[in-house]
């Protein structure tokens, strides 16, 4: 069965009840849309794996896993609006999995933080979610090239000049973050490689990369 691993992961997280199963099916349907060249099931898998890798730094790892499932559940390529709609979806559907309204509201809050990937210091669950979401930036060079190509396919409707300008602005914003990864484990795993990868892509786009900042402990 397609995405059987994700179905198992959802059942382990949300339970095997009928309503939880329906929520999981809706989420997988959203993640599997035909235009999701990057923000698809493989990205969800990667974020969940990132949460697992950083789970020891979370206050509530299962809360973060719920947020991972919902964080790009709505994806129309409109920053800010996508995260808001995904958060609202979480607040509506998480209680159907037997979780409290307060738990659902916290899932929604975490999803909203991914709009800027700037969690407040000490907001450990948001830090873990954001680091897991950005872990793709720290892949090996070939994996990073595959990621960048998938992002371009998602924006196939955007002309090359406009895409280059917009993508360069995104990369500059990420490179300006110091540090980019907020958890100690995230910095150790991904910071140095992410900065090399992004600086290389920015140079290829014709932009002037900022100096590479050394990872912080």
Instruction: Tell me the domain boundaries of the chain.
Output: 4-136, 138-204
Architecture of domain 4-136: Orthogonal Bundle (1.10)
The pTM for the full model equals: 0.93
Closest CA to 174 of 202, 145, 150: 202
Helix residue ranges per DSSP H, 40-159: 41-54, 61-70, 81-93, 101-113, 124-134, 141-154
- Tens place of pLDDT per residue across the chain (217 aa): 689 999 999 999 999 999 999 999 999 999 999 999 999 999 999 999 999 999 999 999 999 999 999 999 999 989 999 999 999 999 999 999 999 999 999 999 999 999 999 999 999 999 999 999 999 999 999 999 999 999 999 999 999 999 999 999 999 999 999 999 999 999 999 999 999 999 999 999 986 554 444 333 2
């Amino acid at each position: 069965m397609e995405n059987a691993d994700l179905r198992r992961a959802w059942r382990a997280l949300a339970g095997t009840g009928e309503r939880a199963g329906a929520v999981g099916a809706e989420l997988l349907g959203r993640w599997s849309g035909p235009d999701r060249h990057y923000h698809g099931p493989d990205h969800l898998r990667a974020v969940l794996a990132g949460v697992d890798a950083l789970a020891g730094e979370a206050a509530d790892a299962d809360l973060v896993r719920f947020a991972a499932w919902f964080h790009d559940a709505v994806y129309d390529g409109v920053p800010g609006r996508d995260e808001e709609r995904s958060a609202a979806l979480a607040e509506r559907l998480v209680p159907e999995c037997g979780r409290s309204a307060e738990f659902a509201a916290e899932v929604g809050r975490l999803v909203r933080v991914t709009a800027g990937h700037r969690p407040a210091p000490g907001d450990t669950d948001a830090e873990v979610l954001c680091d897991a979401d950005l872990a793709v930036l720290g892949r090996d060079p070939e994996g990073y090239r595959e990621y960048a190509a998938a992002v371009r396919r998602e924006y196939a409707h955007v002309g090359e000049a406009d895409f280059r300008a917009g993508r360069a602005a995104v990369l500059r914003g990420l490179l300006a973050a110091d540090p980019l990864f907020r958890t100690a484990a995230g910095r150790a795993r991904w910071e140095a490689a992410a900065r090399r990868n992004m600086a290389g892509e920015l140079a290829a786009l014709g932009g002037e990369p900022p100096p590479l900042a050394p990872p912080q402990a």
